[in-house]
Amino acid sequence: MPVEQVDVLVVGAGQAGVAMSEHLSRNAIPHLVLERARIAEKWRSGRWDSLVANGPAWHDRFPGRAFDGDPEAFVGKEAVADYFAAYAKQIAAPIRCGVEVREVRRLDGRPGFRVDTSQGVVEAQSVVAATGPFQRPVFPRIVPESAGIRQLHSADYRNPGQLPEGAVLVVGAGASGAQIAEELLEAGRRVFIAIGPHDRPPRRYRGRDNVWWLGVLNKWDMAAPSSDTRHVTFAVSGAHGGETVDFRRLAQRGATLLGRAKAFADGVLTIEPGLAENLATGDQNYLSVLDEADAWVARNGADLPEEPEARVVLPDPACVTDPILSLDLAAEGIASIVWATGYGLDFGWLKVDAFDAAGKPKHQRGVSAEPGVYFLGLPWLSRRGSSFIWGVWHDASFIADQIAIQRSYRAYRAPAERAAEVA
């Protein structure tokens, strides 16, 4: 049977794969998108039930389509998935769902790649890996299974009812940890939350949402930091119409704040000191955004109402001034732990020379070290916005351009070759 030939193969049909398809079509580049599940599957089955987008509908979208309804609303996860499915339809994206890419290897002695899939072999001149910024849950095995505590990663958390009765420890204070801890508190659980250094920008300031401030302050476009830059956890939330994440407020409502979880022995979790400093990094980030926003208002003479009350920081609760450094889980009635500890990459299927010794993709703005292989949707691929809905669309445009340029080199024929082809 002849092997199916495609010019560009895109792996994954999340927002990155859909954006890639749009830009390839704009460049009239034939392509195929293979998706192992459904379009935007992660928004459907890889997130908790109550999740809403972190940014308002007017912002967290592609330029070619608006969400139905209030543009200021924070859209629910199913509606986000529906949006991408509708978008794919609108642009007639050639997406084949239910096909997993199992292996990609460079062809021997001729250009292109052999792609082994769950439904046979495809050969492609170029491959775009759009398999997501968050592929493999990072699950620190600090507490052994033998401790008899229900443990799950935030990727598998769905709702409070899924957890056994009793108190819950949430580890991690990014967007996931902060939102899950709040939901558990609202469900009447006793909640402990382990907090490391983090950024926590204001949700709104002087009448504008955080996404707008990041835009006018050129933060979305901030270039990728160098590989030794510390990637700080980013605590934001669109829940309840969008509120600033404030761990002290969470404590006022009953949560117990802890430093980072360090080790476990004999039923006791050791907690790193430094909770107050970790909260201070969040405060610094929060206040720095207010300062930059105020400076922008002054420079531009913008008519945005002053908001001095935004600078009021709540007093430290007792769990901060007198921090807990060891936590007896049974004594506190903790029956489950949600590890909101982030994600890593897994490119085991991509057997090409595009990774460093540590397995990190080697690329520049998504153009990998292996000619013909591209990455899209990775955190900081080209800028801060790269893994977000808004940013991935622009990165896809750049990559489509690069693919078009390479195609034109491949199509080039010297005059003598052209003459020979005509003859």
Ligand X SMILES: Cc1cc2nc3c(=O)[nH]c(=O)nc-3n(C[C@H](O)[C@H](O)[C@H](O)COP(=O)(O)OP(=O)(O)OC[C@H]3O[C@@H](n4cnc5c(N)ncnc54)[C@H](O)[C@@H]3O)c2cc1C
Shortest Å, Cβ 51 to ligand X: 6
**How many Å apart are CA 363 and CA 96, to the nearest integer?**
27
Residues in region 333-372 near ligand X by CB under 6 A: 349
Task: Considering only the stretches 9-17, 156-164, 222-230, 302-310, report the one whose residues sit in contact with ligand X under the rule CB under 6 A.
Answer: 9-17
Close Cβ partners of 102 (under 8 Å, ≥ 6 residues apart): 116, 117, 118, 349
Question: Is position 384 an interface residue for ligand X (rule: CB under 6 A)?
Answer: no
CA–CA dist 248, 210 (Å, integer): 20
The residues, any chain, with a CB within 8 Å of residue 391's CB and separated by 6 or more, are 220, 383, 384, 385
Residue selected from 4, 49, 100, 307 as contacting ligand X according to rule CB under 6 A:
100
Q: How many residues bind ligand X (CB under 6 A)?
A: 34
Q: How far is CA 296 from the centre of its chain?
A: 28
Helix (H) or strand (E) holding 191: strand 191-194
53 touches ligand X by CB under 6 A: yes
Window contacting ligand X (CB under 6 A); options: 15-23, 251-259, 282-290, 325-333: 15-23
* Nearest partner of 6 among 86, 85, 81, 117, judged by Cα: 117
Stretch that binds ligand X, among 49-57, 160-168, 197-205, 303-311 (CB under 6 A): 49-57
Work out how close the CB of 109 gets to ligand X at its nearest, in angstroms, rounded to a whole number.
26
Residue partners of 418: CB distance under 8 A and separation at least 6: none
- What is the rounded CA–CA span in Å between residue 224 and residue 22? 24
Q: Is 42 in the site for ligand X (CB under 6 A)?
A: yes
Return the bridge partners of 233, or none.
198
Query: 98 vs 148, which CB is nearer to ligand X?
Result: 98
The smaller minimum CB distance to ligand X, of residues 160 and 259, is found at 160
- Residue 37 interacts with ligand X (CB under 6 A)? yes
End-to-end CA distance of the chain: 32
Q: Which stretch, 242-250, 366-374, 381-389, 394-402, contacts ligand X (CB under 6 A)?
A: 381-389
Nearer to ligand X, 37 or 152 (CB): 37
Tokens describing residue 385: 């916005």
Q: Tell me the C-alpha distance between 340 and 172, whole Å.
A: 5
Nearest-CA neighbor of 376 among 3, 76, 10? 10
Establish if 205 lies at the interface with ligand X (CB under 6 A). no
Q: Is 377 in the site for ligand X (CB under 6 A)?
A: yes
Selected binder of ligand X within 122, 387, 395, 399 (CB under 6 A): 387
| Nearest alpha carbon to residue 214 among 307, 283, 309, 285 | 285
54 binds ligand X (CB under 6 A): yes
Site mask, ligand X, residues 131-170, x = CB under 6 A?
xxxx------------------------------------
CB of 168 to ligand X, least distance (A): 18
> Considering the complex, what minimum distance in angstroms separates the CB of residue 176 from ligand X?
5
Residues that bind ligand X (CB under 6 A): 11-17, 34-37, 41-43, 47, 51, 53-55, 60, 100-101, 130-134, 176, 349, 377, 387-389, 392
